[in-house]
A and B are shown apart, each in its own frame.
Chain A
Amino acid sequence: MRRTKILAAAGIATTALLALTACNSGSPNTPAGGDAPEPEVAEDVALEGSPTYDAMVERGGPIIGVKEDQPNLGFLDATTGERSGFDIDIARWIAAELGFSEDDITYEPIASANREQALVNGDIDYYVGTYSITDNRKEQIDFAGPYFVTGQGFLVSADSDMTEVTDVSDFNGMTVCSATGSTPIQNIKDNYPEIATEEYDIYSACVDDLLNGKVDAVTTDAAILIGYAAQYPDELKVLDGLFTEERYGVGIPKGDTALQEFINTLFTDGHDTWQEIFDATLGRSGITVEQPAVDPVG
């Protein structure tokens, strides 16, 4: 009996120690040496009338839906188990302002197609991961933000002669790659028959083909492309010129205006933090972007 108690105490001490070290190594540093700000955890959070927040408090931490295959946006390093990127840091920032430290957060990777359902079901409290604000989606959920505006862009090899695209037909006679069934590849297939296409399930396969010289360009939301350009700054570059407008927001359960207002206020008042987060992640590719103004609540 005595022995079990000692063992248990030792076990707890070891776990605590491990938790502490995990906390230390848990800083959101990316391997390439970015230094994202360590958000200060807020105390005395006053957020009334938000059922989502109440659920987080009861549980002892938020469950955040994220992506984990987009470098510098939402990325999980398979070897270290560390998450990094612009979206991840935005998610951490919100959590910190709500009074939760990194250890309280549970990350939940959710595929694009299942995001609305995960929020409707209550599987996650909020979602940060290249989530475009659209009217279709607004029927099921609400968005805070936008915190980033992007559009369909093109990623090419750094030694390419092109610096900007004025029209998609600039790529006539070349091969362009994107994700199977994505809007950009459909746009090209339907309207630009002179452009050859390649498609894979994942963008990283397209980027591999671009690095190998098998395709001439990769197309999708510029933010995703900028992430890859920041990962391979010597090999890849994003061309100027956008063809659509995608406004990334934070997905939250429908009707939680209190949380929506809280996050919007945070984005509006916390401009410096936003800038720091951007500079440490997507900004490393060399681009500069203005923080967008948030949409009115409701």
Chain B
Amino acid sequence: MDAIFGNLDLWGEGITYTLLVFVFGGLIALVLGTIIGAMRVSPVPIARAVGTAYVNLVRNTPLTLVFFFFVFGYSALALPKLSNTVLGIMAIGVYTATYVAETLRAGINTVPVGQAEAARAIGLPFGQVMTQVVLPQAFRSVVPPMMSVFIALLKNTTVAAGFSVAVLPQLQSTISNSHNRTGTPMEVLLWVALIFVALVMLLTWLQRTLENRWRIAR
């Protein structure tokens, strides 16, 4: 217990940064993923090609490499300086967007073709067909797999620890190497794991709630 109560300041910082990366990375993933998902089913061939290329390129690159490109590649360019936390959020958002896009595409495929055809028949353009008719139904049908994507995103935040983002796993070395801190590496890692389990249970609860509220009869 000393590992927790002796270092409350560090745990607070670790949890804050983990949630920061999760929330903002998740937002980027959701927005970018929705756009890419819509591109992949759009009637414009170039949009489809760009969407496909993006998904295949980024999804097939290991997350650590994506981090490398953002954290070291970005700073090698003569662009405005960004902190590692911001770069890490971008990396994880851009990476997870591919999974969001593919999950959403699966959801779009569950919407009967007639829905989109009917929407087009009453004169809606592609943008409105997607935002008013198809995507709302698609989102509702993919709540469980989409939540799995976000649970994976939450756990992937641990990768950021290797790139100087002060997320939870970084505590291990900080605490065990400090002279005036108590806690062995195993203790700290156990607590980190428990915190992640608690956070994932929160997400699971959110998934249940959304599933119940959004259940649709077809």
Chain A interface extent, by class: 10 to 19
Most A C-beta atoms less than 10 A away, residue of B164, B170, B179: B164
Enumerate A172-196 residues with CB–CB distance to B below 8 Å: 177, 180-183, 186, 189-190
Check A186 against B178 for contact (C-beta < 8 Å): yes
CB of A212 closer than 8 Å to a CB of B: yes
Give chain A nearest CB distance to B48 CB in angstroms: 37
Assess the B162–A201 pair: CB atoms within 8 A.
yes
Report the nearest B residue to A198, measured CB to CB.
B164
Is A186 within 8 A of B81, CB to CB?
A: no
A selection of 28 A-B contacts at a CB cut-off of 8 Å is A177-B164, A180-B170, A180-B173, A181-B173, A181-B174, A181-B176, A181-B177, A183-B177, A186-B177, A186-B178, A186-B179, A189-B174, A189-B178, A190-B178, A190-B180, A199-B164, A199-B170, A200-B162, A200-B163, A200-B164, A208-B72, A209-B72, A209-B75, A212-B75, A213-B75, A213-B81, A214-B75, A214-B81
Please tell me if A205 contacts chain B, counting CB pairs below 8 Å.
yes
For B164-205 the 0/1 string (1 means CB < 8 A from A) is 100000100110111110000000000000000000000000
* Chain B interface size, under 10 / 10 to 19 / 20 to 34 / 35 or more: 10 to 19
Cβ of B113 under 8 Å from chain A: no
Fill in one digit per residue for A213-225: 1 if any B CB lies within 8 Å of its CB, else 0: 1100000000000
Q: Is the interface of B mostly helix, strand, loop or mixed?
A: helix
State A182–B84 Cα separation when bound (angstroms).
19
Q: Which residues of A contact B170 (CB under 8 A)?
A: 180, 199
Residues in chain B within 8 A of chain A (CB atoms): 72, 75-76, 81, 84, 162-164, 170, 173-174, 176-180
Q: How far is the CA of A212 from the CA of B163 in the complex (A)?
A: 15
Nearest CB of B to A179, in Å: 9
5 interchain residue pairs of minimum CB distance: A181-B173, A181-B177, A212-B75, A198-B164, A214-B75
B119 to chain A, nearest CB (A): 49
A residues near B, CB below 8 A? 177, 180-183, 186, 189-190, 198-201, 205, 208-209, 212-214
- In contact, A186 and B174 (Cβ under 8 angstroms): yes
What is the minimal beta-carbon distance from A44 to any residue of chain B, in angstroms? 47
Closest residue of B by beta carbon distance from A177: B164
Residue contact A182 to B177, C-beta cutoff 8 Å? yes
B32 to chain A, nearest CB (A): 25
Note all chain B residues with C-beta closer than 8 A to A213.
75, 81
* Residues in B neighbouring A205, C-beta threshold 8 A: 72
Please give the distance in Å from A137's CB to the nearest CB on chain B: 16
Taking the closest CB of chain A, its distance from the CB of B194, in whole angstroms, is 22
Cβ-defined contact, A212 with B176, below 8 A: no
B152 smallest CB distance to A (angstroms): 23
Report the separation of the CA atoms of residues A199 and B160 in the bound assembly, to the nearest whole angstrom.
11
What CA separation (Å) do A181 and B174 show in the bound complex? Answer: 5
9 new A-B contacts, CB < 8 A, other than A189-B174, A201-B162, A213-B81, are: A181-B173, A186-B174, A189-B178, A199-B164, A199-B170, A200-B164, A212-B75, A214-B75, A214-B81
